[in-house]
């Protein structure tokens, strides 16, 4: 027997129903911190360093993301020509 239930609710209502915490204040603070850091960056290297320091995925995740972006750009003919 298979039973399907459709629930029409907002994400906030779903979090409350499932007992998950509301992380909106934490998210807002994180976004403000990142935006403030971007304001003070003068070069691409500084931006990369700041992004790595505030990124929840860390350095390994940033390398993986860069590899995925390089693959995507390469398939579109826009990748690094020096590799």
Structure confidence by residue, pLDDT tens digits, 70-81: 887 777 665 455
Model pLDDT, residue 2 = 94
Q: C-alpha distances in angstroms, 55 versus 7, 31, 35, 59, 60?
A: 33, 11, 12, 8, 11
Query: Residue 32 — very low, low, confident or very high, per pLDDT cuts 50/70/90?
Result: confident
Please name the residues in contact with 70: beta carbons below 8 A apart, sequence gap of 6 or more: 79, 80, 83
Q: How many helices (H) and strands (E) does the chain have?
A: 4, 0
Q: Kindly list the domain boundaries of the chain, sorted by start residue.
A: 11-75
Model pLDDT, residue 4 = 94
Query: Residue 46 — very low, low, confident or very high, per pLDDT cuts 50/70/90?
Result: confident
Is residue 73 a contact partner of residue 79, using CB atoms and an 8 Å limit? yes
Higher pLDDT, residue 69 or 82: 69
């Amino acid at each position: 027997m298979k039973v399907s239930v459709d629930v029409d609710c907002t994400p906030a209502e779903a979090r409350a129903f499932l007992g998950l915490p509301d992380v909106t204040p934490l998210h807002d603070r994180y976004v403000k911190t990142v935006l403030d850091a971007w304001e003070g960056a003068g070069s691409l290297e500084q931006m990369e360093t700041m992004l790595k320091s505030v990124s929840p995925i860390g350095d390994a995740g940033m390398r993986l993301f860069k590899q995925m972006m390089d693959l995507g750009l390469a398939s579109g003919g826009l990748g690094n020509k020096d590799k």
